[in-house]
Amino acid sequence: MAGLMAGFGHYTHAVVRGVPASLAKGALRTVHAEVDLAKAQKEHEAYVEILGTRLGLELIVLPVDESLPDCVFVEDAAVVCGDTALIPRMGAESRRREAEHMKAALKDLNLNIVEMTDETAILDGGDVLFTGREFFVGLSKRTNQRGAEILADTFKDYAVSTVPVVEGLHLKTICSMGGPGLIVIGSSEPAQKTLKIMQQMSDHRYDKLTVPDDYAANCVYMNLPNKGPVLLHATAEQYPESAKVFEKLKDHMLIPVCNKEKVKVDGALTCCSVLINKKADI
């Protein structure tokens, strides 16, 4: 298992997409909140800058499509593991065309593309938590059992367990990976209940890092050459108590990232990129 986990968090490429002007009015949201478009775009530029300039990932920037207000949230449009990419049939019909540019970009990287064509299946990438050892798939308004089954068929090397999402849009609204074997989880009752179910379903023992704010539990973990463990997490300005918890991760390079505007349309940090570890072509 240690061998399997050795490459966890290794990435070479990041697929991102800009914030369309239509996001402010047109993006789907569970709670109505006014979005400051200019701030949302600035936040996103800073996020992309961190991935590309500061961390040295090769960026693949998909074109912005004004007719797709949610298109900045690329994570929902692909699940990539190893050299295989699953293009899901997203739960919100208005978002399904987002997959077209994503599919083309992943094809250009020579990944094996699997498309979810079953019309009874739905799955959003935001409901998929890959731990390096196995997959947890949240059953939510955007992801169903059939979607989870197709994911399991696509990534046969890994166990796949389903978890009910009782609160929040996606499974990763309340949790993410903070390192190999470390699950970052919100402190609310639904979040803690979800973690308990995940622990019961798994053969592995995971450590947990509980943060006071559920939204702050969504962070981006990477393990990069010359940088070591890196964690992009919510800022102290947004979630002061949660930021203090992240400071306990002494061996991580901690990078606070502002996500104030995109969170209003249910956008978390992992939502805005698809991270890929591309083996060099021989």
pLDDT tens track for 97-121: 999 999 999 999 999 999 999 999 9
Distance of CA 12 to the CA centre of its chain: 16
Burial (CB < 10 A; 0-12, 13-18, 19+), residue 248, is exposed
User: What pTM was computed for the model?
Assistant: 0.96
Single-letter code of the amino acid located at 23: L
Burial (CB < 10 A; 0-12, 13-18, 19+), residue 108, is exposed
pLDDT of residue 3: 46
Annotated active-site residue in 44, 170, 233, 252: 170
Residue 259 to residue 158: CA distance in whole angstroms = 32
pLDDT of residue 281: 62
Residue 254 to residue 271: CA distance in whole angstroms = 19
* pLDDT under 70: residue ranges of the chain: 1-6, 280-282
Tell me whether residue 219 is one of the annotated catalytic residues.
no
- Domains of the chain with bracketed CATH: 2-276 (3.75.10.10)
CB 1: neighbour CB atoms within 10 A?
11
pLDDT of residue 126: 98
pLDDT of residue 173: 96
Annotated active-site residue in 71, 175, 219, 271: 271
pLDDT of residue 33: 87
Q: What is the DSSP secondary structure assignment for residue 54, as one 8-state letter? A: I
Task: Give 224-231 contacts, CB < 8 A, sequence gap 24+.
Answer: 224/9, 224/10, 224/11, 224/55, 224/56, 224/57, 225/10, 227/55, 227/56, 227/253, 228/252, 228/253, 229/9, 229/179, 229/253, 230/55, 230/255, 231/178, 231/179, 231/255
What are the strands of the beta sheet with 175-179, ordered from one edge? 175-179, 182-186, 207-211
pLDDT of residue 1: 40
Task: Enumerate the β-bridge partners of residue 177.
Answer: 183
Tell me whether residue 71 is one of the annotated catalytic residues.
no
